[in-house]
Every structure is written in C-alpha cells, then in structure tokens.
Amino acid sequence: MNIDGVPYRTVWLDGSTVKLIDQPLLPHTFAIHDAPTPAATADAIRTMVVRGAGAIGATGAFGIAQAALLARDADFHAEVAQAASLLAATRPTAQNLFYGIRAVMHAIEAQGDDLSAARQAAVAAAQEVADDDAACCEAIGRHGAPLLEDGMGVGTHCNAGWLAFVDWGSALSPIYAAHRGGTRLHVWVDETRPRSQGARLTAFELGQEGVPHSVIADNSMGAWMRRGQVQAVIVGSDRIAANGDVANKIGTYAVATMAAANGIPFYVAAPTTTIDPDCPHGDDIPIEERGEDEVAWTWGWSDEGRFLRVRTTPAHSRCRNLAFDVTPAALVRGILTEHGLVPASPEGMARVMRRPGPPQG
C-alpha cells in the first residue's frame, strides 16, 4: 500500500497497541488510529475505523493477541475469552473476523497453562493471519491480472483494495497488478452509498496508484455498461456461502444483475478465508443492519474548509440501512482466490475452503 509513496499496511501490532489507518478520515486526512486495549480495538471495528473483510479479520486476530499480552496471569483465559466475545460481536457478516479470532484462540489453547508460550503463540498466530491475508491478496492479483485486457473498462463496487485488507486488496489487486504490468485500464468507481466507500476510499487508492478512474453515481453503472464503457466487473466479498452465493456491500446484487443483463463478466475476488464452510446458502448469511443516521446524514468538506455532517432527508422520515446483500452464485462468472479462478459452486468452494486451527476430521 502506497500513501504518498510511503508503504503501509492497513493494521499492525506495535507492542500491545493495535494500530490502524483511520479510514473515516479519508480521503481528506491520513492519520493512524491507536487502539490500546481489546475494547478499543473492538470499538474501532464497530465504528468502521477499520472495515473490509481481510482488514477486520487481521484486526480481530491482533485484538486477541493484544488481550493475551494484557491479560493478568490469574485470569488469563477468562480475560482472553471475554475479549474474543467482545470482538466477535462487532460486525456479524464478515467471515474473516471469525476466522482470525478462531486462529489465534486455537494457538493460545494449544499452549495449555504455559502463559508465556501462549502469549508468544498468540502474537505469532495473529501476525500469520495478517501475513497470510497480504500474501493471498497478492496472489489474487497475479491470477486476476490476465483477465484484464488492454483498454478495458472495469467496474467495481465499494472498496476491496488495500484499505479493505492488510495489503493489496482483493477486487483491486488484479487492477494494480495489471496496471503495474503496463495494461491500460479505466476503472468505473461507483459511490457506494450510504458510507461512500467507493467515492472516498477506492478513488483515493486508485489515485495514489495512478490508475485512471471515474467516480460515478451509484445508479449510473448500468448506463455506462450499456454504453459499452465497462467490459468486466470485479467486486470483493465479506462472506461466501458453501454453495458459492456471495455477501458483499449493499448494492452488489444490483450491479451483478446489470452485468448479467449486458453480458458482462462479473467476478468476485476473495481469499479463501472468506468462504464459510458452515454456511450452506446465501440466505443463511447474517446481514448487518446499521443505524439510520448513515442514510439520513452525510459528511463532507465545506467551502470554508470545515468537515461537516449535513442531513439529506426530511427530519420526520425513517430510514433503513442494510449494510450488505447477497448475490446468487448463478450471477458470478467465477471467484478469484489465491489459488486462481474457481467456479461459484459447491464443488468449487469445497475445493478451496479452509478452516483455522487443527486439521478437520
């Protein structure tokens, strides 16, 4: 991840403090957020200081390692378990969060009552979750770049780039790899209301990388497809069911439907940690509903240089705010994983899905 030419990761552990790029401040201000306790780390996930499947997963893993480092010897296992419950309760849809928590908990439990070894194992396991996420996303870029031909227009939805993972990203990783390899692309970035992760974060990333792009209104993607400006769509995912159904940011289903209507391939990019082997079907994925304020109000910079919240709906109007929707596997051309492109089908998912901890038997 390059910010003004300086390499960063989205989240890392510094001593017992979890450090994160403060995403709600982007694209106007770049700052690092410090979370000194597991409660603060959980709050950073809940309030979307950090967001995106892989980044949330690594943050959850670092939060468990943080709890292990800070827990008192007399109450070690109880305090770590309490932190795990707190972290797991933050965002219900992102599968990577639960994967990261379980991976570090397995490492701690394997050490029994050797608390020194448990603390070391927790830090090592959390770092492994983060490193694995970055490596998987880099591999997704290598496998996905050949799908993008010179001169293509590529549509995307929400943010599944550097900021949504530890590094590289999922949906944007093939774009970065192709761009660095000399392939000329133009990315169509929809706003992604209500939090505008496309307009704020994806556009910020692409600008830092020098990738040509246009920010478009959410309801205009279909028009650009019909005008022949979009030849492929790549999105990320927060959870993939065992049958290949995909949960992603609200609005993804609409983009996939428009892509199908226009004969445009619709790809989902995600590391295999996003696949939930215990979730048979997309209808079984828990869908988070967030507060009304995210729909009723928006944030931005005024002409006077102030960062302001303004209301965009009538004060008496109630709002509903689904954070995710489910795209049926039938609309997905393929799922780009660290192992390459696999079918969005039960057979494809069974071939690549994995679980943390001891081998399953």
* Calpha distance 87→98 (Å, rounded): 9
CA distances, 173 to each of 33, 94, 152 (Å)? 25, 19, 16
**Other CB atoms closer than 10 Å to residue 318's CB: what's the count?**
9
Sorted by sequence, the CB contacts under 8 Å of residue 214 that are 6+ apart come out as 186, 187, 188, 189
Report whether 11 contacts 19 (CB < 8 A).
yes
- 238 assigned to active site: yes
Amino acid at 39: A
| The two three-digit tokens of residue 19, written as one number | 């450090």
Report whether 270 contacts 240 (CB < 8 A).
yes
Taking the alpha carbons of 223, 283, 50, 132 in that order, is the dihedral positive or negative? negative
**Other CB atoms closer than 10 Å to residue 216's CB: what's the count?**
18
Out of 133, 238, 245, 276, which one is annotated catalytic?
A: 238
Question: What length does the chain have?
Answer: 361
CA 128: distance to chain centroid? 18
Report whether 188 contacts 224 (CB < 8 A).
yes
Which stretches of the chain are DSSP H helices?
38-46, 53-70, 76-88, 95-109, 115-144, 173-180, 197, 203-209, 221-226, 252-261, 293-296, 346-352
From the number of C-beta atoms within 10 Å of its C-beta (0-12, 13-18, 19+), residue 3 rates as middle
Amino acid at 13: L
**Other CB atoms closer than 10 Å to residue 311's CB: what's the count?**
10
Backbone angles phi, psi at 301, to 5 degrees: -90, 135
Nearest 10 degrees: CA dihedral of 65, 45, 55, 94? 110
Active site residues: 238
